[in-house]
Amino acid sequence: MSTDKESIILDFFAGSGTTAHAVMQLNKEDGGNRRFICVQLPEPCDPKSEAYKVGYSTIADISKERIRRAGAKLRAEIESERAQKASELSFDDTNETAMPDFGFKVFRLADSNFKQWRDIRGSEQQQWLQQTIDFINPVAENATIDNMVYELLLKNGKSLNSTIEHTNYIYNINSGEVVLLLESVNQETIDHVLTLHPQKVIALDNLFSGNDQLKTNTVLQLRDAGIEFKTI
């Protein structure tokens, strides 16, 4: 009752996803564009419960499935209503109601995808040496490209709802606000990046391993184009 059509509704105790369901239902009813942020700890389900028996090991798993099913149900209802209206003789020339956005993203709290520098006490030279060698590749052992993309979004002050375009090993964030190079780099890739006219480019330094000429050329080309360049 207290929301307008552009509200963001926050629920720190999502449970089975009732709030998310209600938000989508209300958007369906009045054409709103409300969004929701739901937070739920991965609280284990009772092994004796029906939810656990069919594969939902945590309350968070139930939340996600509830939201998926609610969105699918509401979408089916709208499509059915449209089909019904199309089959009826009507002099109502009002525009057809747009399909609400029933999509959602799921994020989990996790360790960084990049290795963290440890403060080694004393003069343990071998430990310092080993840590320096380990940091030749700064990417953590269990890191994934998708997780690195979202971590770098947050570290650069970008929204988790940013638009991400992925083509030719280039992750283009919000149409050029930031470009991420996390998979492969060659001169063709850099030439493509230049055509995007991004504000900032972030690349994994080890992608240039063994090709100092390419890295030097990249630094010079991006600098000449007025593009901020950073390596990790």
pLDDT digits (tens, 9 = 90+) for 164-206: 999 999 999 999 999 999 999 999 999 999 999 999 999 999 8
Q: How far apart are CA 54 and CA 48, in angstroms?
A: 11
Q: How far apart are CA 80 and CA 218, in angstroms?
A: 54
Degrees to nearest 5, angle at CA 25 with 20 and 30? 130
Q: Which of 137, 166, 134 minimizes the C-alpha distance to 150?
A: 166
pLDDT digits (tens, 9 = 90+) for 125-179: 777 787 777 777 888 889 999 999 999 999 999 999 999 999 999 999 999 999 9
173 strand-pairing partners? 164, 178
pLDDT digits (tens, 9 = 90+) for 69-116: 999 999 999 999 888 888 776 666 555 667 889 999 999 999 999 988
- Residue pair 40/63 in contact (Cβ under 8 Å)? The answer is yes
pLDDT digits (tens, 9 = 90+) for 5-38: 999 999 999 999 999 999 999 999 999 999 999 9
